[in-house]
Structure 1
Amino acid sequence: MASSTTEEAKPKPRLIVRLGIFLASHHILFSALCCTAGIIALLFLPSLAKNTYLSENALIPGSANTLFSTEDILEANRFLKGIEAATGESRGGTDMPKFISQEIKNLGAEVHYHEFLPDRKCFHPLKFFTSMTNNMAVKPNGTYTNFGINIAGIIRAPRGDGKEAIVLVTPYNSQGDQSNELLSLALGFSVFSLLSRATWLAKDIVWLSADSQFGEYAAVSAWLNQYHNPMFLSDPVILDTKMYGTNRNLYEHDDTTEKAELMTFKRAGTMAAALIFKVGETRKYNDRDSVTMYAEASNGQMPNLDLLNVVHYLAVHRQGFHVNIETFSSLLSSSWLKVIAEVFQNVGSVLRKINPDWKLDVNVPDYVEGTANLANSMYNQALGVPTGSHGAFRDYQVDAVSLEFAPAFNLKNENAKFSFLLRGGRLTEGVVRSVNNLLEKFHQSFFLYFLTAPSKFISVGVYMIPFALFLAPLPIVAAALAGDSKTKGKLVDECKTKDIVGDLEIGGESWKWLKSARVLLVIQIWAALVSLLPYYISQIPGAMPTQYAVIWAVLSIVILIILYGMFGSPYHAGVEWRLLKATMITSITIGMGLMSIINFATAQLGALILIPMCLFSRPLKAQLEMNFLPRIILFISNILLTVLGFPPAALLVMKCLSKGLWTVDIGDFWLWMEFLWEWSSATYLYVFLVHLPCWLLCIHVLLHPCLQPESKMKQE
C-alpha cells in the first residue's frame, strides 16, 4: 500500500518534458516532417518577397531638381575627345593618367596619384578573416616595371566640416583604349565637374579613377588599404625618383614640388557611401538602356537596402532605365519550376477563397523569375566572393553598390550617346544628393536580405524560417539516439539489484560517448590537415588542375589511414552507431550555428544537403531487418544524399545540370577550391571543417558493422 501511494504521489513531468519525450520517441517521423516543411518553405520564399521601401526619410530621392544639363554633356564630350587623343599618343599608358589629373586640377580640386602592385593572391591559412590587401600597401621599387596608377580627385564640401565623404569610382584600363571605358571616364568627370560647382554639398566628394589593368577589385582595394592604413615615409620625393621603371616618363616633365604634391596621398572624411559605375557592352535587341546592380560582398555581406532603393527609384522613376540584377538564366526555362509555380498558384487561390485576407498572389512568370533571382542571390552570398569592386568597401564597413550601364545603342551614335550621358549623369547626381542629406550612416533599413527582383526582397525574419525547420529535429534526434528510454529503464532496474561492482559497470556504460567523441576529434584533425593541403600542393610547379585534385584526394586518404592507425578505427573501438550518429548531429548543430553567424546563405544551402543526409543515415546492415519497400526507399535516399553531400560530386553534378555533361572535369573542384581560398572566403572553412567531417561520419554510420551491445545485455 505504501509503495502504491508513493507512486501515485509522484508529480507528473512538465508539459515540455512530456512533449520532448514524445518527439524523441517519434524522431524519425518528426525529422521527415521538418525536412519536408523546410524544403517547401524554401520554395515558397519567392512568393513571400516584399516590395522595397525607403526607411530613412532623410534620403528623399528625386525631391530636388537635377542640375546636370547639356553643358555638362558638352564637358563630357570635350573630356572624351581629349582622353582619346591622349590614349592615341600614349607611350606605355602614361598620358591618360596625366590628362585626367590635369583636368581635375583645372576644376580647382585636389588630385594625387596612387601606385600599387598587382595583387598576388595566394593561400594564407591564418588570414581568412583579415583584410586581403595586406600585401598591397608595399610601394613599387626599382625592381618593378609594371604597376597600376590610380588617380583620385577630392572636392572639399563648402557646407561640410571635412568629417564625411562620398566616393565615386570609375574603373579604367590605363593600358587599353576601349570606347566603353573612355565613356565611363567621361561620365565620371562630367559628374565630378558638376559637383565641383555645387553649393549644397555637405560631404566631401572623392572621384577615384581606378586603374583596372590588374582587375577592378585590386585597384580599389589597394587604394582603400592606403586610405585607412597610412604609410609614413621620411622622404617620399627621393624614394619616388628611384622607383619608376618603364613608367618614369610619367613624371619626367614635372618639377620636384609638383611631383611631391602629386605623390602625397590625400584623404577626405569618413566614407558615408560609395558608388561604382561603368559603361558595359552594348545590349543588342533591346530598346531601353539598362542598369545592372551588383551588391554582394565578401562572406555574404550586403550594403544597406536603402542605398539600393535610392538607386532603383531614381533609375526607374526619374531616368527611365531598366534595372536588372544577376540571375540564373537556366532556371528561367525550367519546366519543373513552372510546375511548382502552378501548384503554389492553385494553393494560393484556394487559400484566398477560405480567407480573403490571406493575400498569397502567386503568378507563374513572376515566381519563376523571382526564384531564378533568389537562387543567384543566395549563391553569390554563399560563395563569399565579391561580385565587384564594391566588395572592397564592405571590408571597411562602407555601404557601396556597383552599377553597370548597358546602352541599347551603338556608341558611335552621337544623339543616343547624348541622351545616355544626360540620364546617367542625373542618376549619379541624384544618388549623391540623397546620401548628402544623411546626418548619420545608413542604419534604418536591412543589412540581411535576399533579392528576388530589383524592387523586391526577403528579409532575415522570413528566410530564416526554412533554416530553423531544418535545425529543429537535430537536438531531438541526438537526444533520442544518445538516451534511449528502454535502455535507461534497464540500467536503472539493474542499478537497484547490483552491488558496487555493478555500479562501476553502469558508470563505464554511461561514458561510452567518449569513444564517439574521440572519433569526432580524429576526423576534425584530419579535416584541418586536409584544408591545409592545397597550400603545399599548389607549390608543385607545372601541374594541371586535374593532377592537383588527384594528389589532394590521394594524400587525404593516406592521412586518414595514418590517423586511424595511430588512434584506432571507429569500427574496432567498440563505438555504437547511435552514439556516433548523435555525436555527428551535435557537431552539425554547432557548425551550422557558427556558420549562420558568419554567412547565413552558406549555412542555408549547406543545411539543405547536409542535414537530411545525416538525419536519415542508418547502417546498411541494420536496414536489412526492415521491410522491402522502406528498405529500398531508405537505401536509395542514403546513397543519393551521400553522393550529393560529397563536395566534389555536388559541384560536378551542379555543373553537369547547368552546362551539360561534356563540361564535367575533375579539375574543376581544384579550381573552385583555389578560387575560394584566394578570396579568403569563409565557405572554404565551412566545406572542410564542417561539411566534409560530417560527410565522413555519415559514411562511417552507413558502413558500421551494427554490433548492438543491447544483445549482450539480454544474454547476460
Structure 2
Amino acid sequence: MGLLTDPGRNDQFAKLLGAYYMKLSVIAYVIGVAWLFCLVDDNFTLKTYFSENALLPGLVQHEFSSLNENYALKQHRMLMDLSKEDSGYVRERIKKSFQDLGLDVYDHYYNYSTPKHPDKIRNGHGVYAIVRASRANSLESIVISAPLRPANTKHIRTEGSIALMLALAQHFRHKNYWSKDIIFLVTDNEHFGAKAWVEAYHGCKSAAVNAPLYGRAGSIQAAINLEIPSPDIDYLDLRIVGINGQLPNLDLVNLVKLLLYKQGMPFVIHGFVELLERTPHDYTEKYLRDLKTTFRMVKSSALGRLEGNHGFFQQYNVQSLTIKGIQSMGGSGRGRIGFYRLAVALEGICRSLNNLLERFHQSFFFYLMTSPNRFISIGMYTPPFGLLILPLVINALALWARDSSAKSPADNSLSSVSTDKTSVAAVLPWLVMAHVVGVASFMGQFFLDFSDLPQSLGTIILEVMYLLFCSRFMTKRDANCLKSLSLIEMAIGLYALSMLNFPLALLVALFAVPVAVWTSNDQPSPARIVHAGLIILLYPIFPVVLSNVWHKLPEVYDPVVANDVFEMGTRSISAMISEYFEYGNWLDPVTFLFLMPLWILHWMTFWAR
C-alpha cells in the first residue's frame, strides 16, 4: 500500500519504470515470440491420447459387408444419373430410399435469405431419417450429415456421401446393440439448411425456423459431416475448426484419426497435403513442416470461417467435425479409397460413440495441432501469450508514471489525484469519439447496400481523417494519457479475445503490439515516416484484404491486375460482413468495435503536437 500512497515511493517507481520500460518491453516480447516458436518442437508438445476410456476405439469386429458396399455403389449410380434433375426430385428419391429401408423419415421446411438480398425470402427443404435405438428410449443420438449439392456446384460434390449414408442406414437398421439413435441428415442450400435444422432441433426461435421438427431423437452427442464425391478418392481431409475457431473435443479427433489409420486411409488436416508424405528424418525439415501445420490451424481458427456444416453443431456443444474426400487427379482414374473402407471406419466411429456414457468432457477443448499425432495444450501456449501482451501494460504504466512525475515536487498527493482526474477528463471525449466511429461503422452494416461498399469505406475514411485533424489540437500530455488508456484497453481486450478465439488474439498481438508500443512521434522525419507506414499497414481492414490478394501483389503494376486486386479486396470485405450476418463470424465485430477504435486512438496520439 505504501507504493500507492507515499509520493516519494511513487517518484522512485516512476523513475525506475521510466529508465527500464523499453528494455523490459523488448525482453518480454522477444521471449514470448521465441517461446511460441519453441512450442512446435516435440519436446514441448504432447502426443495425442484418449482421456475417455469408454470409447473403446477399434475393439469391435466390423460387420459391414461387400453386399452393403454394392448397395452403396448402386445408390451412387442412381444419384449420378439424377444429377441433372431438379433438386426437389432428387430429394424425393433420397427420401423414398430411406423409407424403403424401414426408417422413420421426416421433412424439414425452413426459410432463409442472404445478406445481399435480405428482402427476398427463400424456402428450403431438408430430409432426415432416424434409426431408433433398440436398447434405449431415444435419450441420446448421433448425427451423420451430408449436404445435397447440384452438379454445377463449386464445392465438393456429395453423391458419395449420401450413398454411403444409405448403405450405413441399411446396415445399422437391424442391429440390436444401439443405445443411441442414429440420425441421417441431408440438407440443401449449403450451410443455410444445416443451420436451420440445428436451430430447429434445439428449439431455437429464429427467422430460419419455419415449423417445428415433427421427428425427434435424443440429445445429440456427436456429429460427423461427410463430403465424399465418389468411391474413387485419393485421400481424406479432416476439418476440425468450426465457426470462430471453436474446436471439437480432442477425443473425437483422436477417435476418427485412429480408425482412419486402422483402415490404412491417408488423410490430412485442413488441406495441408505435405502431411501425406513421410515424416522427415531431418530435424529442421520436420520442425518446418510442424510449423506450417500449426500455422494452417491458427489461420483457419483466426479467420473464423465456416469450413463445414459441423460448425453449427459445435455452437450447441455438440462435438463434430467434417470428413472431406479429395480426388487429387481431378476425378479421373481409380482412387485408393473406396466405399468399403470408408464405411468400416464410420461404423467403428459410430459404435465407439455408442459406448459413451456421458458427454465428451475429459479431453482438451483448446489446443493446436502440430501434426496428426501431436498437439499443444492450452496450458503450454497461454504463458508466452501473456508475455506478448506484457509490453502493453509496461508502456501504459510508464506513460502514466511519466506524467505523474512531471508535476512539481511541491504538489501534494491530493492535488496529484486531482490533476490525474483532470487529465483523464480531458482525453475522455477523444476516447468516446473513436469508439463512436467504430460503432457507427459497424451499425451502418445493418443498412448497407453491398453495391455501395466502396462509398461506405470512403465515409469511414472521412470520419477517421476528421478525428486526425482534430487531434492536432491535442497537447503532448493529453496524448500520453490517451495512449496509456488505449494500451490498457488493448491489453484487456486481447486477454478477453484469447478466451474466445486464441489464434485471432495471437495474430493481432504478434503484429499490433510492437507497432502500438514502439511507434512514436518523438522521432526524426525518416523514422517517423516509417512508423506512420507501419500504422497504416495495420489498419484493421487492411490485413483482411491482404490475406485474400497477397498472391496477386507481384503483378499489381498491370492495370488489369490492379483492378482485379481492388475487386478482390472489396469482395473480401463484403464476405467478412456476410459471414457475420449469415452465421455469426466474430471477425467483423472484432474488427470494427475493438480494433478500429484502438487504431484511431493510436493514430491520433501519433500525430498529436
State the TM bucket, normalised to the shorter chain: 0.7 to 0.9
> By how many angstroms is 1:13 displaced?
11
> By how many angstroms is 1:571 displaced?
2.4
Mapping 1:515-534, distance limit 5 Å: 515-534=426-445
**1:208 aligns to 2:153 (yes or no):** no
Instruction: Return 663-672 or 528-537, whichever deviates more.
Output: 663-672
CA distance in 1, matches of 2:59, 2:172: 18
> By how many angstroms is 1:315 displaced?
0.2
> By how many angstroms is 1:62 displaced?
0.5
Partner of 1:363: 283
> By how many angstroms is 1:179 displaced?
11
CA distance in 1, matches of 2:330, 2:401: 72
Q: Which residue, out of 294, 304, 307, partners 2:249?
A: 304
CA distance in 1, matches of 2:529, 2:38: 27
Change (3 A) 1:39 1:408: closer
CA distance in 2, matches of 1:17, 1:152: 71
Q: Which residue, out of 433, 436, 439, partners 2:354?
A: 436
**In structure 2, the residue corresponding to 1:154 is in which secondary structure?**
strand
**1:228 aligns to 2:191 (yes or no):** no
Tell whether the 8 Å contact from 2:234 to 2:336 is kept in structure 1 after alignment: no
CA distance in 2, matches of 1:329, 1:175: 26
> By how many angstroms is 1:561 displaced?
5.9
Change (3 A) 1:647 1:329: farther
Partner of 1:31: 25
**1:156 aligns to 2:132 (yes or no):** yes
What 5-or-longer segments of structure 2 have no aligned partner? 556-560
Percent identical: 24
Mapping 1:403-482, distance limit 5 Å: 403-406=323-326, 420-482=338-400
Partner of 2:36: 42
> By how many angstroms is 1:644 displaced?
2.7
Change (3 A) 1:329 1:268: closer
Q: Which residue, out of 234, 243, 252, partners 1:289?
A: 234
Mapping 1:596-611, distance limit 5 Å: 596-611=498-513
> By how many angstroms is 1:511 displaced?
2.4
Tell whether the 8 Å contact from 1:282 to 1:409 is kept in structure 2 after alignment: no
Q: Which residue, out of 268, 285, 294, partners 1:374?
A: 294
Partner of 2:105: 111
CA distance in 1, matches of 2:123, 2:372: 37
Partner of 1:273: 222
CA distance in 2, matches of 1:649, 1:85: 46
CA distance in 1, matches of 2:362, 2:323: 23
Q: Which residue, out of 74, 94, 105, partners 1:100?
A: 94
Tell whether the 8 Å contact from 1:609 to 1:641 is kept in structure 2 after alignment: no
Change (3 A) 1:462 1:303: same
- The AA in structure 2 aligned to 1:698 is H
Partner of 1:386: 306
Larger radius of gyration: 1
Tell whether the 8 Å contact from 1:111 to 1:153 is kept in structure 2 after alignment: yes
CA distance in 1, matches of 2:350, 2:11: 58
CA distance in 2, matches of 1:644, 1:298: 27
Partner of 1:184: 161
Tell whether the 8 Å contact from 1:643 to 1:650 is kept in structure 2 after alignment: no
CA distance in 1, matches of 2:483, 2:444: 28
CA distance in 1, matches of 2:275, 2:80: 42
> By how many angstroms is 1:117 displaced?
3.8
CA distance in 2, matches of 1:50, 1:87: 46
Q: Which residue, out of 51, 55, 58, partners 2:54?
A: 58
> By how many angstroms is 1:78 displaced?
3.1
What 5-or-longer segments of structure 1 have no aligned partner? 1-9, 125-134, 136-142, 233-238, 241-262, 333-344, 346-360, 497-502, 625-630, 706-716
Q: Which residue, out of 588, 594, 608, partners 2:496?
A: 594
Partner of 1:682: 586
> By how many angstroms is 1:592 displaced?
1.4
**What are the superposed Cα offsets for residues 650-685 of structure 1, whole Å, 9 maximum, x if unpaired?**
345545544443366234443223222222222212
Change (3 A) 1:193 1:327: closer
> By how many angstroms is 1:452 displaced?
2.1
Partner of 2:558: none
> By how many angstroms is 1:647 displaced?
2.8
**1:582 aligns to 2:484 (yes or no):** yes
> By how many angstroms is 1:432 displaced?
0.3
> By how many angstroms is 1:81 displaced?
3.9
Instruction: Return 217-226 or 425-434, whichever deviates more.
Output: 217-226
> By how many angstroms is 1:85 displaced?
5.2
Q: Which residue, out of 563, 581, 601, partners 1:697?
A: 601
> By how many angstroms is 1:51 displaced?
2.2
- The AA in structure 1 aligned to 2:257 is H
> By how many angstroms is 1:409 displaced?
8.0
**What are the superposed Cα offsets for residues 253-275 of structure 1, whole Å, 9 maximum, x if unpaired?**
xxxxxxxxxx9730101000001
Partner of 1:121: 115
Tell whether the 8 Å contact from 2:141 to 2:183 is kept in structure 1 after alignment: yes
Partner of 1:647: 540
Change (3 A) 1:575 1:171: same
Change (3 A) 1:610 1:83: closer
**In structure 2, the residue corresponding to 1:186 is in which secondary structure?**
helix
